[in-house]
Every structure is written in structure tokens, then in C-alpha cells.
Amino acid sequence: MFILFLLVIAVVVILAVPDIRRNLVTKPIFGIFKKILPPLSDTEREAMEAGDVWWDGDLFKGKPDWAKLHAIPKPQLSAEEQAFLDNEVETLLKMLDDYKIVNETRDLPQPVWDYIKGNGFFAMIIPKSFGGREFSAIANSTIVSRIATRSLTAAVTVMVPNSLGPGELLMHYGTQEQKDRWLPGLAAGTEVPCFALTGPEAGSDAGGIPDTGVVCKGQFEGNEVLGIRLNWDKRYITLAPVATVLGLAFKLSDPDKLMGDKEELGITCALIPTSHPGVQIGDRHFPMNMAFMNGTTYGEDVFIPLDWIIGGPSFAGRGWRMLVECLSAGRGISLPALGTATGHLATRMTGAYAYVRQQFGMSIGKFEGVQESLGRIGGLTYSLEAMRVMTAGAIDLKLSPSVVTAIAKYHMTEMSRTLLNDSFDIHAGRAIQCGPKNYLAHGYMGVPISITVEGANILTRNLMIFGQGATRCHPYVLKELEAAANPDAEAGLKQFDELLLKHVGFALGNTFGALFQGLTVGAFNGSPVGGETAKYYKQLSRMSKALALSADFSMLMLGGDLKRKEMLSARLGDVLSHLYIASAVLKFYEDNGRQVADLPFVHYSVQRNLYEIGRAFAGFFSNFPNRFVAGLLKTLVFPFGIGYQMPDDDVSMQISDALLKPSVIRDRLTHLCYIGEGKDDPTGLMEQAFAAVHNAQPLMKKIFAAQKEGKIARKLPLQQTIAKALELQVLTDSEAKQLDEMNALRFDAISVDSFKPGELEGMALKG
């Protein structure tokens, strides 16, 4: 006991006395840490430091503050924004015929272009002082989503100028002269912007772009000025074929040191009129048969003045940070809006189709296999809408949460792919025949585009979400990296020493906390609410603690190798992602007044998230290189095994039932879905058939009763059944007429398009 007492005293003295601790403990650990820390390139460091930490930081710390989540204001449209949605947007939707746009003209009609430009659709993010509308992020998201349920081509055309591009870059970084020159024209639609970053050999690795600019002297407007000689070759640039102003990213060098002492200045962004000599635009790509403008731009030895650098000459070399910060905001609005639009359209139309379409004498929505898919469609759409609102709300708080927007981009595009596959499965032949009646085909074609652009999904999941999240969201790691990189070794050691004790305390707290929560299955965790959702807050807190613990062990054991263990780190990213999605769902439920009708959708969404968290942890433990540490972590986090399951069948059936009948929850869940006014529009036709079949149910019950009594044969076609019921006076004349009209409408709604011989060939020639 005496020896143990002396050992405890020694440890206390070592840790309590700064000089002793620094020499005996911190210095050796600091040396090891500098060896194992992941080496960061300049572009990685800038990406790591860009943007804001938000709710993702709470989730990563192992102790989410649920009161803080609930206190985040619910995003709301202003009266002006709602009026624009009700008037200008609705007018635009009525002007669109997406089948003709994609298959015949392969461009928006000129009146549509004129209406978009002249009514401020390109001006949503531009301040009113420059003639813009200065709409909120939630308004931007809602407008794009609404348009996308009608036409993906129109939605992308509107989306791009209000996302990453000249407008946003100018507002954040432009000089006053640049803002005065360009923003009024962009707001009025007289200037059409595009931004060129991606090229044939530079996509995800933007730091490796081959496009160059060299500082030199040249002629501009008859005078010799200091400027840049540019060479570039860009691909996949949306709106490039019709752009009047080109935003360009390139690597800038100054070999003659005309701007200062540095020869390599780094990635730089400039704004160039497409009418400038040497700028080449016009060639089009044809992405997945979609008609939005997308194409190439290139230039050889194009001279521009230094003043065309966005932000002026002082912003030379600062382009990558500018792009990362602006891209994170745009990524949180644009592609999530498209994914959500897919959910709204697919949910409303698939529910209607499943009710209208009959097999074996009843609606196919009554079959359990269809109900399983409908449950998944409805549950994922609820998650999509919750994420859309929460993520756009963060941007309206003047934040740029880079990790959160990466989560939204990856998971929302993947969820839209999943629910569209389910929708196709239910619609079967109705979905695969392209034509004016098909409301799913263009969305299906567009999903791979969303998955590919603004950071391909493989990159986003495997490198960005956890790669940035582990460092940005961790309370100590980024500060420790800064200490290790400090050129003043003594100052760095002192800074690291102050962080080390806090980090050790943090790690020990998470270790014992994870074990306690594992042994008690999170039963003693707090919840900000009572009722059916209280258990979810407890489990999410438990998994947050598990994530913090596993991330610390991963960084400790693997160091710089962790970023190369992409499959391993991606699983921890999945845990963080599903914690965020579940948080968004719970907040959405609270913000909308805890509606009882929402509960099946909440249960499905959060239970699915917990299941995916368990699956991600299982893969992480199975593949962690150090098997002892893997076993230790698994025992600490899940001492009784991973118990999370996918939602019960009853939950899917409840969601399916809600989608198979007119209801408030159906309307709220699909409120952005465009419904045409007449039978000439496929969505309007399906919605009318859906209503007609529902309204006819009391009359169908009369027929069923007559069939049960043996008066009418059961297997007659419906048209003959109605005639027989009329003959037997089971139905009145007006009732029979109503059923005949319903049957005709139903048959029209489930029918597919066909084309006369030579008709498709004629369309191909027009194209």
C-alpha cells in the first residue's frame, strides 16, 4: 500500500507540475504526435480551415446539447418570398413542357429564358442594392425544389447562378468596382454566369488543375498593363454554352516576381467576359439526355488585366479557400433541393399510382411487398425534407457548415436514388416507357448527375465527411495540429501541453461514458422531450459518445494512415451522417408541432438511422487493423451486441396507408410537388384519377355487395360489371356514369405512351 501510495504521489506530481510534465510526458508524446499526424497539403489545410463547425461539432463531442438543437429558429419564408413562390414560380411552371424540352427542343424555349431572366430567377442571392431579390437560403431551396418537380432542366438553369459562381464569389470577395460592374447585370439577367473549375484531368483534385496563369505585362485597351497570360481547358461547365461572363479557376505563377517575392501564388479565380478575345465557349455536352446547358470552355494565351482577379490583385492565390467556403454553402442548397424534389414527386405519384392500379381485383398498394417499398419511399422523403429545411436553415444563420453540407449532398442524392428505384419497381412498365405521360423518367436520368457533380459521392463519403469532420469537429485535434505545425518549437510544445491534459480527460470521459451507456443501453441519458421520441434522443446521445471514442482511438492508432484507410474512415463518417439525419428528423417533428400523423415517418426515419449507425460500427470493428483495440472498442460500445433493427413491418404499413388516401400528412409531405391542372399533364391526370377512385368507393361497395350475393359475377371487366349493376338497378344512371368516368380516367392514368411509325425517327432528326 505504501509503494502504491508513492506511485500515486509521483504521478500527481508529474502531471501537476508544468515543467516536470512537459519534459517527462508532453515532450515525448509531442514528438510521436508530430510523426504520426496526417501530413496536410496546402489545399487540404485550406479546406480544413474553411467553413464553420455547427451541430456536427456537438455530435462529434459525444454530448449533444439537444436544447441547443431545439432552440435553432425554424426557417420560414418571408411574405415576399411566399408571394414569389405563389406567382412568378407558378407562372414559370405553367410555361414548361419538360417532355418537349428534353426530347424535342433540347433547350428551354426562348419565352422561358426571357421570363427567367426578366423576373429575377437569377437574382435570388444578389442584394437588393444591386437589383437582386436577396432571398433567404430556405427560399432559394424551396423555389428550386418546386421547379425541379416540374422540370429538372429548368431547375438546374435557375439553380446554378444562385449557387457556386460569379454572383456568390463577387458578394463575398469582390471589390466594390467589380460588384458595381457585374452584379446589376447578373440580377437583371442581361449577364448569364458560369464558373469553370473542372477539367479533363482535374475533378476532385482541384489542387492539381493543369490550367495556368502567368503574371506578365501585356496590351489591354491600347495600354501596356500588368496582367495574366491564361491557358485553360475546362469541361462539364453548366451554362457555359450561353454564358456572358466566365468565372475561371487556375494556378497562378509569377516567375519574374512582378507582384512580390513568391513565384508560385496558387489557385486564383478571375472573372472574364466571354466576349474577350481568345475566350472559347459554345460546345455542348449532353448529360444523361438532359437539356440544361452544359459544355466546354478553353483559351490559349489569353491576356487579362490583374484587376479581373476576383477581389483584386491582393486575392491572387486565395482562390481555393474562396471556392471551398462558397461551395459548402451552395452544396447545402442546390443538390439537396433536387433530391428533395425527387422525393416529393415520387411519393405523391407512387402512392396515387399504387391506389389506382389494380391487380387480382384490388389496388396494388394493398400488397405487402408494395407497402414495404412505399414505406421506404415515404420514410426517406420525410428525412429528405427534414434535412433540406435544417441545412438551408444553417446557411440562413450566416454559417458555412462544410461537413454538414457534405453530409446533405451525399446522403440526399443517395436517398433520392433509392426511393426512385422503389418508385420504378412499383410503377413497373408505367415508369420505363418514356413519353409525355412519364413523370419519373427525367428524374431517374438526372440522379446520376446529382451524384457526380459538386464532389462525386465516393469522394464526399470517403474523404470529406470524416476527413474534415474528424479534424474540424473534434474539440482538440485541429488545435493540436496547429501546435505541431508551429515553427516556434517551444511555443508549439507549450500549446500542445495545455491541450494534452484536456484531450486525455476528454478521451477518458468518453471511454468510461461509452462503457456505462453500453451497460445501461443509454437508459440514463437525458431527453429534452417525453413521449414516443424520447428514446431516440437517448440512443443518439449514446452513439455520439461512441463516435467520439472510436474517432480518438482511430487517430491515435493510425495517425497519418487514417486518411488513406478510406473505407474505415467512411464508416465513421456514416455514423456522423446518420446522427445528423436523425437530429434533423427529430427537430423537424418538433418544429411542426409534434403531429401524431408524422410519427410513423419519424419512427421509420430514426430507426433506419440507428440501424445504419450500428451497421457502420460493425464494419468499422470488423476491419480495424489492430484486432485487440477493435475488440476493446466493441466491448465498450456494445457490450451486449448491436441491437438496432430496421423498422417493423407495421411502420411501413402505416406509412403506406397514409400515402394511399387523401390526407393532411400526404399533402404536407409532398407540398412541393407540382400538380398540373388538367388531364393533359401527367401529374394532374394521376391526381385526378386518384381522387376519382377514392370518391367512387361508396359505389364500388354496392357492387361488391351484389357480387357477394351472387347477383354479379366477380371476374367480369369493370366496364361490364358497371353495366350489369345498372341493369340490375344496383346503381342509378348517375352512379353508373360516375363509375364509367372514373374507370376511363383510371385507365388513362395507368396507360403509357406509344408512337406512330416514323414519329420517333422524326423527333431524332429534329434533335
Quick check: 45 pLDDT over 70? no
Phi, psi of 293 (to 5 degrees): -70, 120
Backbone φ and ψ of 121, nearest 5°: -70, -25
Q: What is the DSSP string of 732-747?
A: -HHHHHHHHHHHHHHH
Q: Is the pLDDT of residue 469 over 80?
A: no
Contacts of 123 (CB under 8 A, 6+ apart): 131, 132, 133, 186, 187, 188, 189
More confident position, 642 or 680: 642
**Please, which pLDDT band fits residue 61 given cuts at 50, 70 and 90?**
confident
pLDDT of residue 123: 95
Which pLDDT belongs to residue 47?
Answer: 61
φ/ψ (deg, to 5) at 252? -105, 135
Out of 28-37, 190-199, 383-392, 526-535, which region has the weakest mean confidence (pLDDT)? 28-37
What's the pLDDT at 19? 61
Q: Say if residue 2's pLDDT is above 70.
A: no
- CA dihedral sign, ordered 634, 636, 640, 645: negative
- Select the more confidently predicted residue: 298 or 767: 298
CA angle (440 as vertex; 438, 441 as ends), nearest 5: 75
In sequence order, which ranges of 624-732 are alpha helices (DSSP H)? 627-637, 649-659, 664-669, 682-695, 697-708, 718-727
In this prediction, residues 8-18 reach a mean pLDDT of 53
How much is the average pLDDT of 556-567?
A: 77
Task: Quote the pLDDT of residue 43.
Answer: 58
Tell me the average pLDDT across 140-158: 97
The mean per-residue pLDDT over the stretch 80-96 comes to 97
Please report the pLDDT score of residue 348 as a whole number. 98
Return the minimum-mean-pLDDT range out of 174-188, 353-367, 528-542, 595-609: 353-367
What pLDDT sits at residue 473? Answer: 78
CA–CA separation, 550 and 545 (whole Å): 9
Q: Evaluate if residue 96 carries a pLDDT over 90.
A: yes
Q: Give the separation between CA 133 and CA 119, rounded to whole angstroms.
A: 10
Q: 563 near 463, Cβ under 8 Å?
A: yes
Residue 384 to residues 3, 163, 605: CA-CA distances in angstroms? 61, 19, 10
Q: How many CB atoms within 10 Å of residue 313?
A: 17
β partners of residue 196: 248
> For residue 657, what pLDDT is reported?
97
Tell me: the pLDDT tens digits for 237-251? 999 999 999 999 999
Alpha helices in 37-136 (DSSP H): 42-49, 55-61, 66-71, 79-84, 90-95, 98-100, 110-118
DSSP alpha helices (H): ranges in 463-488? 466-472, 477-484
Highest mean pLDDT of the ranges 32-41, 451-460, 718-727: 718-727
574-630: pLDDT as tens digits: 999 999 999 999 999 999 999 999 999 999 999 999 999 999 999 999 999 999 999
* Reported confidence tier of residue 146, pLDDT bands at 50, 70, 90: very high
- Residue 716: pLDDT band with limits 50, 70, 90: confident
Specify the pLDDT at position 320: 83
Q: Give dist(CA 562, CA 36) in Å, integer.
A: 10
Give the pLDDT score at 544. Answer: 96
CA-CA distance, 471 to 573, in Å (whole number)? Answer: 12
Hey, which bits of 239-339 come out as E strands? Answer: 245-253, 264-273, 280-284, 294-305
- The residue that leads in pLDDT, 304 or 489, is 304
Task: Show which residues are catalytic.
Answer: 454
Alpha carbons 280 and 299: distance in angstroms, whole number = 6
Other Cβ atoms less than 10 A from the Cβ of 315: the count is 19
pLDDT of residue 767: 46
Cβ pair 284, 238 in contact under 8 A: no
269-310 pLDDT, tens digit per residue, is 999 999 999 999 989 999 998 999 999 999 999 999 999 999
Query: Per-residue b/e over 616-644, b at no fewer than 16 CB within 10 Å?
Result: bbbebbeebeeeebbeebbebbbeeebeb
- What pLDDT is attached to residue 766? 55
Position 253 scores a pLDDT of 96
**Cell 490550367, located at residue:** 211
Provide mean pLDDT across the span 707-713.
Answer: 91
Q: What percent of the chain shows pLDDT beyond 90? A: 73
Backbone φ and ψ of 227, nearest 5°: -155, -155
Mean pLDDT calculated for residue range 698-725: 91
Q: Could you tell me if 66 and 537 are in contact, meaning their C-beta atoms sit under 8 angstroms apart?
A: yes
What domains are defined for the chain? 37-48+473-575+604-654 (no CATH), 79-191 (1.10.540.10), 194-330 (2.40.110.10), 696-750 (no CATH)
Mean pLDDT of the chain: 90
Burial of 543 (0-12, 13-18, 19+ CB in 10 A): buried
Contact of 239 with 293, CB cutoff 8 Å? yes
- The helix (run of H) or strand (run of E) holding residue 254 is none
Q: Say what the pLDDT of residue 323 is.
A: 81
Q: With contact defined as beta carbons under 8 Å apart, do 688 and 669 qualify?
A: no
Predicted confidence band of residue 457 (pLDDT cuts 50, 70, 90): confident
306-348 pLDDT, tens digit per residue, is 999 999 999 999 888 888 777 766 688 999 999 999 999 999 9
How far is residue 127's CA from residue 177's CA, in Å, rounded to a whole number?
15
Q: To which residue does cell 418537380 refer? A: 149
Per-residue pLDDT at 378 exceeds 60: yes
The percent of residues above 70 in pLDDT, for the chain, comes to: 91
Q: What's the confidence (pLDDT) of residue 755?
A: 92
Rounded distance between C-alpha atoms, residue 596 and residue 603, angstroms: 11
Among 11-15, 152-156, 178-182, 636-640, which is the least confidently predicted range?
A: 11-15
**Does 476 score more than 90 pLDDT?**
no
Phi-psi region of 189 (alpha: psi -120 to 50; beta: other; left: phi over 0): left
